[in-house]
Amino acid sequence: MAENGLLELSGTVEHVVYHNDKNQYTVLEMAAGEELVTVVGEFPFVSEGEELQVYGGWDTHPSFGQQFKAQTFERARPATAAAMMKYLASGAVKGVGPATARRIVETFGEKALEVMEREPERLSQIKGITKEKAQSIGEELKRVYGIRELMAYLGAYGVRPEEAVQVWKTYGQDSVSCIQEDPYRLCEEGMNISFTIADMIAESMEKPRDDLGRVQAGVLYVLRHNLDNGHTCLPWDKLCSAAAQMLGVELELAQDAVYTLSESFQLRCENVDGKDFIFLERQHISESYIAARMKAMLRIPPQALVGADVQIAAIEARKGVQYAEKQKEAIRAAMEKGILILTGGPGTGKTTTLNAIIHILKLSGEKVLLAAPTGRAAKRMSELTGEEAKTIHRMLQVDWDEQDNPVFTRNERNPLECDCLVVDELSMVDAYVFESLLRALPLSCRLILVGDSDQLPSVGAGNVLGDLIASQLFPTVQLKEIFRQSMESLSVLSAHRIVEGKLPELRRRDSDFFFMPREDPAETAQLIVSLCAQRLPRSYGFSSVSDIQVLCPGRKGELGTVELNKLLREAVNPPQKGKTEARINGQLFRLGDKVMQVKNDYNLPWTREDGTSGEGVFNGDMGVITEIDKPGGAIRVEIDDKEVLYDFDHAANELEPAYAVTVHKSQGNEFTAVIIPVLNPPGQLCYRNLLYTGVTRAKQLLILAGRKATIAAMIENDRKTRRYTGLQWLLEKEQEEI
């Protein structure tokens, strides 16, 4: 028995049954005395012939019987010639196969590994091994053992194997010494290991809490953390006070750290109306480039197309339509200007206007490309325009650098081939992605930006649409008139009343909008479950999974996504004999579950039925679990028309149940039927554009369930989601011509 209460088991790895390179989950057979034992756990770079000491406990698998579940382990190098032979022949060291392994062990016996590591040049005395190959084998062995050493070192502090591999990619064989020299390197961009872990390592080395390196790392961490809250910068005073509080140091130390980081150009400071704002270098580059490029496009527009009114009249005559004056204004601007921002709420004719613009530009011989931030938004854009639309990432041909950070192959040196680019749902596009789009635009390209400025801003950092409009520098047409066919929709009228600060007509019931008053949270939750599982499928023929979506202001509470997803799963997709399920890190996954991707994963592969394949699944993508392979530790999810295969670890970290999702996560999606609980959400989530964004996600049916007073309070609170960004100021700032 180990000291921590875990059972201890020692033996030799006989066979690696299964190994996942991403999360290091492994199933192996280990010879422990006279027994052959099945052991499961996370074993990075494990190979046959290795000696292991594993710590854990016995478990009985329903399909595979008794197995030892390892929580941690220690390893020793193979000690005997036979073990070394087995180890090297397994392919553990790149460049050494069974035949080479046999010759090495026959030549050097039990000293084979020692020679390979310390005197690799001696391998060249073996026939078939050149001096170059000998050196390569030695370096590969050092790499293997170096990564193992690093994983063992960091694993003691809770760092996952895949995170350790990322550290190795950055620092190589010097990883451990680099971390010991400065643990806060782990928090650098590209690795993104938590500051808490870096602090634990530093504390174990007895580094002082007021060390300047620690304080600087803390300042950078606060800024990076706030990128997740949408901020591209922070006011000087807020940054310093937040960093000092987190670090438990005096305010002056945080201020000194900001000064030092600014002097070394790791941070940028801009004075806006007498107040200093601090940017990370990467975010300052993004917003500065956007400002400079957009202003350059104003100065050097593409050639104007003439005859807008003639073209408009021709379309009206052919289609029997009559464009509103604002729609005509937008069409003219698209033809005559280099930039157009087209904004408006539901039912105001954005799609009709956009279709006319695309038609006229194509008639004029221009090549028009269409892009949207999500797969669903791109698909909807294609359906509404009749033209192919791609996600921005697909259009820009995303790739990855050595640190697995996304880079786009379409850029200044490899621009898009188009005369006009149309981007829909611009409110969802963050500063970095918009910068990347602009870098890929040909110099004379038209740019048409479409979105609803009253919706929530992007999940990523920045407020691109809002800042562009607020600068008042660019031709902007806001469509406000609701067209006759949309006037018949109570849900559309309700959306416009909300954005105008008026209460919807809650007493009026129509086929596409209902308000169901409830006072008790438990009663409201049961109502929502009943609507999803029985009432709406029975009355409207809607699918509980693919058509109906519950949108919550937040995650917590009886009416938050966490609790509602539990209730909805059991009602909509209950357990059945033969229906596979798996519990991973405390999270349940069941065959047929509706799930959502909750973070960008640029290198997750997918395939389509037509044989096409690619990589990249993004925050907000939704799908259904079609297969759970428990022996293989994998989950298959159908997302739109793509099949995506997740290993268990990635599923636990990147997928969540999606019967109910937050309004923020629903951006860019539309659903046949939407149900929104409105019963005392947290104060920070009780505001107008959150409610408006949720309401505008409904295509055919909208149901609000809860209190009239809550709806009124949300509408009354017209505060926009506060974001600290620099784009508007950079646009308005006088700059030298670039």
Asked whether the beta carbons of 375 and 483 are under 8 A apart, the reply is no
pLDDT of residue 735: 46
The letter for the amino acid at 220 is L
User: How many whole angstroms separate alpha carbon 679 and alpha carbon 688?
Assistant: 15
Nearest CA to 100 out of 129, 132, 142 is that of 129
DSSP 411: B
pLDDT of residue 223: 94
pLDDT of residue 499: 83
- For residue 644, the SS3 value is strand
pLDDT of residue 736: 44
Three-class SS of 665-683: HHCCCCEEEEEEEECCCCH
Output the DSSP codes for 228-260. Answer: TTT-SEEEHHHHHHHHHHHHT--HHHHHHHHHH
pLDDT of residue 470: 92
pLDDT of residue 290: 96
Asked whether the beta carbons of 57 and 70 are under 8 A apart, the reply is no
User: How many whole angstroms separate alpha carbon 309 and alpha carbon 295?
Assistant: 28
Name the phi and psi angles at 476, rounded to 5.
-130, 130
For β-strands 7-19 and 25-32, DSSP reports them as: antiparallel
Spell out a b/e string for 321-355, using b for 16 or more CB atoms within 10 Å of the CB, else e: eebbebbbbbbbbbbbbbbbbbbbbbbbbbebbbb
pLDDT of residue 463: 92
Asked whether the beta carbons of 525 and 559 are under 8 A apart, the reply is yes
pLDDT of residue 395: 92
Half-sphere exposure of residue 313, counting CA atoms within 13 Å on the CB side?
4
pLDDT of residue 339: 93
pLDDT of residue 287: 96
CA distances from 537 to 315, 544, 561, 659 (A): 41, 7, 21, 15
**Mean pLDDT per segment of 10 residues, for the chain of length 738 residues?**
68 84 79 87 79 83 79 74 79 79 88 85 87 86 76 78 77 84 83 84 87 91 89 94 93 93 91 91 94 92 87 87 89 90 87 91 92 84 89 85 73 93 92 95 92 84 93 91 64 83 79 89 95 94 94 91 94 91 86 90 82 81 90 87 86 91 86 92 79 89 92 84 88 61
